[in-house]
Structure 1
Amino acid sequence: MAVVLPEAAIIVAGGSGTRMQSQVPKQFIAIGGQPILMHTIRRFYEYNPALQLVVVLPQNQIAKWQTLCFTHVFEIKHAVVAGGITRFGSVKNGLAAITAPDGVVAVHDGVRPFVPVAVIREAFAVAAEKGNAVVAVPLKESIRQIFKTKNKALDRSQYQLVQTPQCFRLPLLRRAYALPEEPTFTDDASVVERFGQKINLVTGSYENIKITTPEDLLWAEVFLKATKTKDS
């Protein structure tokens, strides 16, 4: 009989709203009447209601989030911890809040509210089997490499866009995050790769956008409305 591993998710929400041209942190901006972060949390709850959820926020945003949860009667159970100065520090703080000694943990951007549940499920399954799973999608447009005085076309089939969630066996991610932080650590996969592990890619979704600009917000509202119409 297969052993069922405990599962957890760290949702990192450290945005300030600068690129969104908003005074409101982007994870708190409402789409469909609720903050983006609530939609994100709900996707993971739909995947597994027993999942241990940890939300990482800047210290000065925690009280606002608690107020939003009260106002919107948001009752999905989750822990809230203060983030670090960098994303690396924030994930490390989130890891410290995970209670299970073993299992699989996902790290996900708080402003990716449309990640399909099927993608979450696949990432957890592959990570349980192989140690890690990183969601990515093929490029749809041509790309060029830029130099100081020239540029050249690259073969886009050799590249993929990395998304989240990025899932890992808990002991592996804890050991990787014991490394000293480096400037090249742009995501969790880069930390685990530096630790000497091969990264396994799983197919993501073009719906799984990271909402960072006003244009993204417009798309999100349209997509959410279309989804509700389809489900009704």
Structure 2
Amino acid sequence: MPSTPDTPSFHALIPCAGTGSRAGTAQAKQYQMLLGQAMVMHTLQALARVPQLSSGWVIVSPGDSFEWPTVNWPDHFRREACGGATRAASVFNGLGVMLQAGVPAHDWVLVHDAARCLITPEAVSQLIEACRDDAVGGLLAVPLPDTLKVQTSTTQSAPSPSGPRVDATVPREDKWLAQTPQMFRLGALHAALAHASATAFAGITDESSAIERLGQSPRLVPGSAHNLKVTYPADLAFAELVLKGRT
């Protein structure tokens, strides 16, 4: 069915130009091997099984040297070497390429972290169905389950030799941990990031924050704690354990 404002299509955009230094791996974390293939391939294969998605756009750095496999590569996904110095820049550049390629501005784009390899097609479909008629869009997120602490500021006192100290406890009510995908209209998200680019994307930590800066309120769609972003070495072991359980 052709895309129209009343029947928009859905597309995935996967920024994949980061280095992932906190993961402690010799190569970018999205290329770390998990169960015989790169982590990012698990991510792409999960997204490829989402029936509503008509295309996927993987945004890599211009100097990307990863040897991408041809086997198990989703036919309706493509790679674009337009990644930027930051995640926000990579997403902004990728959205621009999509628009230049003729993807309508009224279509929905779901931006998903390459390192969230435990995402399930069911969770993505849930997000799409929850937000497809929303005026703004939304994101997967989970309510904050733990007590949140603020550490003492080093500008107020000398650093403790034993490490950071608690300054205050923050109420966790009404607080959520943002995840991805984050789903917005292609043109609206591109415009929001274009506005943020004037300050080099300062303070833009995800797509929702760019939309929020324009005074809009994205919808929070309950996700799963399993949909973590692999960031530290222990996360790699956890992701492998979960993926093994799914085979």
TM over 0.5: yes
Tell whether the 8 Å contact from 1:119 to 1:203 is kept in structure 2 after alignment: no
- Pick aligned residue for 1:13 from 12, 16, 31: 16
C-alpha displacement of 1:4: 3.1
Query: Runs of 4 or more off by more than 6 Å in structure 1?
Result: none
Q: Which runs of 5+ in 2 are unaligned?
A: 158-165
Q: Percent sequence identity over matched residues? A: 30
- Pick aligned residue for 2:183 from 141, 164, 167: 167
Aligned length, in residue pairs: 222
Distance in 2 separating the partners of 1:19 and 1:174: 28
Tell whether the 8 Å contact from 2:193 to 2:201 is kept in structure 1 after alignment: no
Distance in 2 separating the partners of 1:19 and 1:170: 30
- Pick aligned residue for 1:121 from 125, 129, 142: 125
SS of structure 2 residue aligned to 1:115: coil
- Superposition RMSD in Å: 1.9
Tell whether the 8 Å contact from 1:135 to 1:162 is kept in structure 2 after alignment: yes
- The aligned residue for residue 49 of structure 2 is 46
Deviations 1:23-61 (A, max 9, x none): 111111111111111111111110127521110112222
More helix by share: 1
- Pick aligned residue for 1:134 from 139, 158, 165: 139
TM-score, normalized by length of structure 1? 0.88
Q: Which runs of 5+ in 1 are unaligned?
A: none
Partner letter of residue 142 of structure 1? T
**CA distance change for structure 1 residues 50 and 121 in 2, over 3 Å: closer, same or farther?**
closer
Based on CA coordinates, which of the two structures has the bigger radius of gyration?
2
- The aligned residue for residue 235 of structure 2 is 216
Partner letter of residue 183 of structure 2? C
Once structures 1 and 2 are overlaid, which stretch shifts more, 90-99 or 150-159?
Answer: 150-159
Matches within 5 A, 1:70-81: 70=70, 73-77=71-75, 78-81=77-80
- Pick aligned residue for 1:34 from 37, 60, 68: 37
Tell whether the 8 Å contact from 2:12 to 2:53 is kept in structure 1 after alignment: no
TM-score, normalized by length of structure 2? 0.83
Tell whether the 8 Å contact from 1:134 to 1:201 is kept in structure 2 after alignment: yes
Tell whether the 8 Å contact from 2:88 to 2:201 is kept in structure 1 after alignment: no
